Structure 1
């Protein structure tokens, strides 16, 4: 890529090969970002990048594991080498612990350790690299979950991991404020992603959909619209917030 072709803005999207991450990557590319899609599956990240390129965007797929420090550093190295810098980081990769419910009394602590490694330690490592590398005026978006605010029995371990993400997000927003970098968390409600639908019967899905006044699940595209807005100049006055994007789920 020649200097003349270097994109004005560059976005790194973890978990960007499918679901909310991929929907966010597509919108960011449509807004003119060169998008670096990170997935633990190189084939999936490459396929996602090819789809964006076919739509006229600029993208590349990268293999990465957000729970591994060297892998996270290499992700940002790759983005900088390919496109000259990083302006937006969307950390959509997370442990799929939402489907594994347990009371606090009965929790298998191995589950807690898995959640910690990906949702807390992994988010912290991505946030750390973002804090070091995102150019002034950029944006960082993390992902929490509606279950934190709902305080639902059985979700203590997952909610605790996402509550840590919220705390990290709000503090990082204050630490990076002098560089005009915004940091926000998006907290989706029940959303019809492949991962969310997996293993749930029709009755369960109907019950979850009924929790929202509109009576349906959200879509990845609806969540992605909020992510893309936070990365745009129009969304730059929103900072240090946890945005509940849940259709009014109760």
Structure 2
């Protein structure tokens, strides 16, 4: 390694806190855990919500430190996505890290779903999970380029993108698309010192899925992993924080499996 490259590597790992972090879909669950993890590290966080303002305020109130902001907006609407970024930038003074966590996951197994419902569910998944992620990524990456400070984008994908989701096919398909989007952007944005990576979690415990973890279904879900349990949101959040760190530049383009060996890709 040359002296210049050594200097660059050292700089890429230098602490850059407090960073300015936008977390989409942060009103509860994984988004809340991600916001809390960044705040615990000294970063300032824009907590985005789509339809749960009270829960988002609870997330905001739970964050360590100060300088955090609340940002509401419908990411299915391109204008709404632009307003979210504008508000976050105004509140934080810029954006250094984007975590694309917002998503919908509506049950719609094909044998039980009528065509009109099928179309509506697919349109909603594409609008939020894929296009919302794409639009936020464009808007934030352009800000990062203009700032000339580099940055990180971390997408929350899913194990379901690889193993299939028979009861939630639009969810699995849009998460696969999010993974592909992240890899395309990793190549496109590297010259601007912007790293892009994705996590692909398996089942993890949140308020939304708590009823499924009861009884026989819960036992079956936990048995998917040889560890005999599901993940916590905090475990996923720690991986997201690492992928957004200066030390993770060389992980740009990766899709990090976080499923407790419940599904092994080849």
* Equivalent in 61, 74, 84 of residue 50 of structure 1: 61
Deviations 1:75-126 (A, max 9, x none): 21122222221000001110123x4433599772222122111111211111
So what's the TM-score if we normalise by structure 1? 0.89
Counterparts of residues 37-186 of structure 1 (less than 5 Å) = 37-40=47-50, 41-52=52-63, 55-97=64-106, 99-102=107-110, 108-134=118-144, 135=147, 136-186=149-199
Quote the residue 1:21 is aligned against. Answer: 31
Change (3 A) 1:42 1:8: same
Aligned equivalents of 1:193, 1:20: Cα separation in 2: 7
The 10-residue stretch of structure 1 (135-144 or 99-108) with the greater mean CA deviation from structure 2: 99-108
Asked whether the 8 Å contact 2:158–2:199 carries over to 1, the reply is yes
Equivalent residue number for residue 4 of structure 1: none
Which runs of at least 4 in structure 1 moved beyond 4 Å after TM superposition? 103-107, 198-201
Structure 1 residues 73 and 198, CA gap change in structure 2 (3 angstroms): farther
Closer/same/farther in 2, CA of residues 121 and 213 from structure 1, 3 Å limit? same
- Supply the distance in 2 between the matched residues of 1:188 and 1:50 (Cα, whole angstroms): 26
When structure 1 is superposed on structure 2, of 109-118 and 137-146 the one drifting more is 109-118
Corresponding residue number in structure 1 for 2:208 = 195
Give the number of the structure whose residues are more often strand, by fraction.
1
Instruction: Tell me the CA shift for residue 154 of structure 1.
Output: 4.1
Quick one: structure 1 residues 105 and 60, their matched pair in 2 at CA, closer, same or farther if it must change by over 3 Å?
closer
What is the total number of aligned residue pairs between the two structures?
A: 241
Pick which of 172-181 and 230-239 moved more.
230-239
For 1:210 and 1:145, the matched residues in 2 are separated by: 18
8 Å contact kept, 1:46–1:60? no
Q: What per-residue deviation string (whole Å, max 9, x for no partner) do you get for residues 42-81 of structure 1? A: 22222211211xx334311111211121221112112222
Range that drifts further, 79-88 or 144-153: 144-153
Instruction: State the shift of 1:196 in Å.
Output: 2.6
* Structure whose alpha-carbon radius of gyration is higher: 2
Q: CA RMSD in A?
A: 2.1
Contact 2:213 2:221 in 1 (8 A): no
- Matching residue of 2:7: none
Q: Cα distance, 1:223 vs. partner?
A: 0.3
Structure 1: unaligned runs, 5 residues or longer: 1-6
